Amino acid sequence: DTEVTQTPKHLVMGMTNKKSLKCEQHMGHRAMYWYKQKAKKPPELMFVYSYEKLSINESVPSRFSPECPNSSLLNLHLHALQPEDSALYLCASSQPLTTGWGTIQYFGAGTRLSVL
Amino acid sequence: QQQVKQSPQSLIVQKGGIPIINCAYENTAFDYFPWYQQFPGKGPALLIAIRPDVSEKKEGRFTISFNKSAKQFSLHIMDSQPGDSATYFCAASKRGSTLGRLYFGRGTQLTVWP
């Protein structure tokens, strides 16, 4: 099973709302990622968790708050978003590289977020 | 600054044609070069990957050619089919990167006409 499951698939929220995106994987991967993808653009890295600890924060605004409650789950809490935050939010997971080369990232289908 | 440059931005071919997508990089610390395929409404999925000690890798109809001295690599799709219509991203990651952080190209939108 190489599946990364993201919920919800679609989300519409106002600028004053608080919502959360959820990501789940059962591949035993210990690295999990959040990406933001605008139309016709590549994914942009937002956050990386390694062994449930935040390892990389790409200077993301504090209105995005990640959380990794356990090794299978990754959440992204959203608060006071702006219309320009509307995008496809992708979650990915991989096994941290200890030997060899190249680690495969497995992506979920994403959550399509619209901020009104 | 885009660390991996990808061209063309879009590509239209007839069924059976051989689309070629090119990528280039400058950072010699890159040592893993995957290609991802993304269909509308889906997340990217790994298609094929190569490391710099290999000049070519084939998986089915997909071939990566790698030129280490030129710091370039390309994806060829043999006997292309309408089902190959998707956006293709080349990427690179650095030697010693335990998290396998990916640097993506800008993407190529491929359309294969029946």
pLDDT for A18: 95
Cβ atoms < 10 Å from Cβ of A60: 17
pLDDT for B108: 98
Averaged confidence pLDDT in chain A: 92
pLDDT in tens, B30-64: 989 999 999 998 999 999 999 888 999 999 999 99
Which chain B residue is nearest to residue A32, measuring alpha carbons? B99
Q: Classify residue A97 by its DSSP letter.
A: P
Q: Show residues of chain B in contact with A39, CB under 8 Å.
A: none
Q: Is the predicted pLDDT of residue B2 greater than 90, yes or no?
A: no
The residues with which A44 forms a beta bridge, in sequence order, are A36
Identify the band that residue A95 occupies on the pLDDT scale cut at 50, 70 and 90. confident
Counts of helices then strands in chain A (DSSP H, E) = 0, 11
Cα torsion angle, B62, B102, A24, A96, sign: positive
Cβ within 8 Å, pair A107-B99: no
Q: What is the mean pLDDT of residues A19-38?
A: 95
How far is A21 from A75, CA to CA, in rounded Å? 6
Cβ within 8 Å, pair A102-B100: yes
Cβ within 8 Å, pair B43-A104: no
Q: What is the mean pLDDT of residues A15-34?
A: 94
User: Which of B36, B101, B106, B108 to mutate: most A Cβ within 10 Å?
Assistant: B101
Coil/strand/helix, residue A64: strand
